[in-house]
Amino acid sequence: MKDLLCDEFQNTVSELLIRHQSILDVLSKLQEASARVNRAVTKAVTSCGCIKVNAEKKGVPDNISISELKGYVESHLNGELCATCQEIVEAEIGRTLFYLAALCNQLDINLYDVFIKEHKKLSTLRFFNLT
């Protein structure tokens, strides 16, 4: 059984997407939306300061397994998004999802099916999916 929420979202996008019907418009709007997520997170660091980036090269021993690698890597983030920044980032991620669903509609791809296929791939390949 397909996830109704995902299908309903994709159908709603199909109904609401009026101006950007060209595949080129959808692709460029998806890229723009992704850049806006990047910008919103960057502004949380540089303008608000609710999160900080503390990035430096971390040494990883040569003799560790792939499953142990997770203990040696980190996000480089300190702090948490404040309510305002979280709202902005969520809105931009939502816009990205909108244009991702629009792209799926243009290409006659079911977004939920993509989620399921990717989940199965991740579940099967586990750490060997690192690309």
Q: What is the pLDDT of residues 84-120, one digit of tens each?
A: 999 999 999 999 999 999 999 999 999 999 999 999 9
The pLDDT tens digits of the residues spanning 9-38 come to: 999 999 998 887 899 999 999 999 999 999
Domains within the chain, CATH numbers bracketed? 4-129 (1.10.287.1080)
Q: Please provide the size of the chain in residues.
A: 131
H/E segment holding residue 79: strand 77-79
Q: Evaluate if pTM is beyond 0.75.
A: yes
**Ramachandran bin of 19, using left for φ above 0, alpha for ψ from -120 to 50, beta for the remaining angles:** alpha
Give burial (CB, 10 Å; 0-12/13-18/19+) of 20: middle
- Please give the radius of gyration of the chain, using alpha carbons only, rounded to the nearest integer: 19
